[in-house]
């Protein structure tokens, strides 16, 4: 059984769980601008918690392809009041901070966030790993090629699975060396990968269990769905559900999604399937 200690709250990952995405930004690729007021942030968090989210992932700086730079000061100004209110209203919920900034991470953990979700894998600021070690929080280590501004400009790999795996092995080792106990890995679907790379990684997702840490799959409404089906992100819920089931079959323990209800139902059906096929 894998149990992650989130500032005293224990997250049991022996069965898969759902992480709800709460973007408090004006420019995220799917829900930008929807949750920027105090009331809308609380309402959306409450909705996802009621639908069964085990974690709420709060982000105050967009990481969509071509995203504009947001200063650390602005990110902190967005994140601190939001997290303070969220933790106050939902004290039993686990909140993660979606940020590549050590300063923003420290501010968020100070307001009650208890997981760090870093899309840069520590690559934006080499102080991040030491910061996480000092804060003693679980850390979600994601692979990215390039930066959000450049990552989709002709990404290239000789062997996507092996290169992503090698990166995650090395970075996990570095985190362990600093004393970070709870590491979760994310292959980074859509972050410096083209359509072929994304589907290769999904088909080989079980390979990442070699690290013996939980695997997070962030497939929600992403370009691999939209490009394949020739639809916009607003039409990509059904495709998200289909790929989430494949991710679960290949060992994912956390589904990071915009649509919690559908993901929770997918996990329940998957768990029932596993139960009857022991």
Residues marked as catalytic = 222, 256
Provide the terminal-to-terminal Cα distance of the chain, rounded to the nearest Å. 17
Q: DSSP characters for 47-107? A: HHHHTT-SEEEEESS--STTPPP--HHHHHHHHHHHHHHHHHH-TTSEEEEE-S-HHHHHH
Q: Which residues contact 118 (CB under 8 A, 6 or more apart)?
A: 99, 100, 105, 128, 132, 139, 140, 141, 142
Q: Which residues contact 254 (CB under 8 A, 6 or more apart)?
A: 13, 16, 17, 18, 19, 55, 184, 214, 215, 216, 217
Quick one: DSSP state of residue 189?
A: T
β-bridge pairing 94-98 and 115-118: parallel
Residue 138: how many CA atoms within 13 Å on its side-chain side?
25
CA distances from 4 to 100, 111, 114, 137, 263 (A): 21, 20, 11, 10, 21
| Closest of 51, 52, 49, 69 to residue 61, by C-alpha | 69
Q: What are phi and psi of 239, to 5 degrees?
A: -65, -35
Q: Is 196 helix (H, G, I), strand (E, B) or coil?
A: helix
């Amino acid at each position: 059984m894998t149990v992650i200690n989130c500032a005293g709250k224990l997250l049991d990952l022996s069965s898969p769980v759902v992480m709800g995405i709460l973007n408090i930004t004006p420019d995220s690729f799917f829900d930008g601008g929807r949750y920027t007021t105090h009331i809308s942030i609380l309402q959306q968090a409450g909705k996802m918690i009621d639908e069964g989210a085990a974690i709420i992932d709060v982000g105050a700086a967009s990481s969509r392809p071509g995203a504009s730079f947001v200063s650390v000061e602005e990110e902190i100004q967005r994140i601190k009041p939001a997290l303070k209110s969220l933790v106050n209203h939902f004290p039993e919920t686990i909140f993660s901070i979606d940020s590549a900034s050590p300063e923003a991470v420290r501010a968020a953990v100070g307001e009650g966030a208890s997981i760090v979700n870093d899309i840069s894998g520590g690559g934006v600021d080499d102080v991040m790993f030491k910061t996480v070690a000092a804060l003693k929080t679980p850390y979600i280590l994601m692979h990215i090629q390039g930066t959000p501004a450049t990552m989709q400009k002709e990404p290239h790999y000789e062997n996507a699975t092996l290169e992503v795996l090698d990166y995650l092995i090395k970075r996990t080792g570095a985190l362990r060396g600093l004393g970070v106990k709870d590491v979760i890995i994310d292959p980074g679907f859509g972050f410096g990968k083209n359509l072929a790379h994304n589907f290769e990684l999904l088909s080989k997702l079980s390979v990442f269990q070699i690290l013996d840490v939980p695997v997070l799959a962030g497939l929600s409404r992403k370009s691999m769905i939209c490009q394949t089906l020739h639809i916009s992100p607003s039409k990509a819920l059904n495709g998200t559900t289909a790929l989430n089931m494949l991710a679960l079959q290949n060992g994912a323990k956390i589904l990071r999604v915009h649509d919690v209800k559908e993901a929770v139902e997918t996990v329940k059906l998957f768990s029932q399937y596993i139960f009857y096929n022991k």
